[in-house]
Amino acid sequence: MALGNRLRVAALLAVVMIPGMAAAQQAPTASITEMAATPLVRVNIAESLRTPPDEASMTVGTQAKASTATEAVAASKAKTEKLLATIRAAGIRERDIQTQGIQLQPDYRWDNVPGGQGRQTLIGYIASNSVQIKTRNIDTLTSLLDALTTAGADTVYGPNFSISDPAPLRREARVRAMTRGQAEATEYARNNGYKTVRLLSVEEGTSYRGTEVIVSGSRISPMAPPPPPPPPAPERDGGVVAPGQLETSVSLNLLYRMER
């Protein structure tokens, strides 16, 4: 390409690009003017639903001691197989049974030596297995724990309660949060001489932060309405297990425009 042609192309690009750059520089000014003419209201709403858990997980373990490592492992294996048979007999599905760890460690005896600091003597080995299980029969947890300990479980960690599918609860919480957000934003609009609001954006947070309202840069914290009463908990078998209720929460950041 000749030098003259390259200069003409460069000049043409400069003519095309300069108006775009000017428009980009003016965009914030137009946005501020628009915001002043039609105020915005930002509402942060958190909604929580409480419901009884429908599944529980726990880790159970066996332990065996013997003078040799081979004997310790064999004894622990026998205890674990008996424990697994009990778990399966309780109706726990195979996909809800997972081996967590197999350990083998030396077993020492500490002997005090008169006038000395003492000494440790190897007396054998300790083999242990741990299995994590999950059950959806919350009502029979006490019976399950009794069966596991009877079958030879040396350790039990749990139960840890959870909700198998929190998605429906989150959907309901979102519906309630959107309804509250619309109502609160409309209230602030009417208090400032506007009739209604129009939703501009929705952002969902990942943590519970309470309820706050921000209007024209000022922070206002209204009293949140009382949460809905929790559903009655079903009757469960007697025992030491009290599942209680779990909370599922969503937090929405809603931006509205006040309209006349």
Q: pLDDT digit string (tens) for 148-164?
A: 999 989 999 988 999 98
Count Cα neighbours of 255 within 13 Å in the Cβ-side half-sphere: 11
Report pLDDT for 102: 87
Tokens of 141: 């947890």
Could you tell me the pLDDT band of residue 67, with boundaries at 50, 70 and 90?
Answer: very high
Could you tell me the pLDDT band of residue 118, with boundaries at 50, 70 and 90?
Answer: confident
Share of the chain above pLDDT 90, in %: 50
Could you tell me the pLDDT band of residue 59, with boundaries at 50, 70 and 90?
Answer: very high
Could you tell me the pLDDT band of residue 110, with boundaries at 50, 70 and 90?
Answer: confident
Report pLDDT for 21: 37
Q: Which one has a higher pLDDT value, 243 or 87?
A: 87
Residue with tokens 């914290």: 221
Which DSSP symbol is given to 163? -
User: What is the tally of helices (H) and strands (E) in the chain?
Assistant: 4, 9
Could you tell me the pLDDT band of residue 3, with boundaries at 50, 70 and 90?
Answer: very low
Cα distances (angstroms) measured from residue 184 to each of 70, 84, 181, 249: 70, 55, 5, 19
pLDDT at residue 13 is higher than 60: no
Q: Which one has a higher pLDDT value, 220 or 5?
A: 5
Could you tell me the pLDDT band of residue 244, with boundaries at 50, 70 and 90?
Answer: confident
Q: Write out the H or E segment, with its range, that includes residue 135.
A: strand 119-135
Averaged over 21-38, what is the pLDDT?
49
Report pLDDT for 33: 62
Averaged pLDDT score across all residues of the chain? 77
Q: What is the 3-state secondary structure (H, E, C) of 85-131?
A: HHHHHCCCCHHHEEEEEEEEEEEEEEECCCCCCCEEEEEEEEEEEEE
Tokens of 172: 């309901």
The amino acid sitting at 209 is R
Q: What is the pLDDT of residues 170-218, one digit of tens each?
A: 999 999 999 999 999 999 999 999 999 999 999 998 543 333 333 333 2
Q: Which domains does the chain have, with CATH numbers?
A: 37-52+165-228+242-260 (3.30.110.170), 55-162 (3.30.70.2970)
Could you tell me the pLDDT band of residue 239, with boundaries at 50, 70 and 90?
Answer: low
pLDDT at residue 166 is higher than 50: yes
The model's pTM is: 0.60
224 in helix, strand or coil? coil
Q: Which one has a higher pLDDT value, 87 or 221?
A: 87
